[in-house]
Amino acid sequence: MSKTRVEEPVWRFPFIGMGVGESFFIPTNSTEFMTYKVRTAAKEFGINVVIRTRVEEDILGIRVWRMD
C-alpha cells in the first residue's frame, strides 16, 4: 500500500501591509520548518520579525510580529 504525501500549502506572508507591532498566526505542525520559511522571507523583504511557537484556540502554530 503506498502512502499519499500531503504537501504543505503555499503561504503568502502579509509583510508589506503590516505595521510595526502587528502580527499574524500560521497554524502548522511543522513549527521549526515554518519558522525557517518566515525568517527567510522576512530577510528578502528587509523586515525584522519575532516568531514564537504558540497554541491558540487549541491550534498549534507560530505567531509572527513585525518589529520594524
The answer, as to whether pTM is greater than 0.85, is no
pLDDT of res. 1: 53
Q: What are the angstrom distances between the C-alpha of 66 and each of 3, 7, 14?
A: 38, 27, 10
The more confident residue out of 2 and 49 is 49
pLDDT of res. 3: 56
pLDDT tens profile 14-58:
888 899 999 999 999 999 999 999 999 999 999 999 999 999 999
Residue 8 has pLDDT above 70, yes or no: no
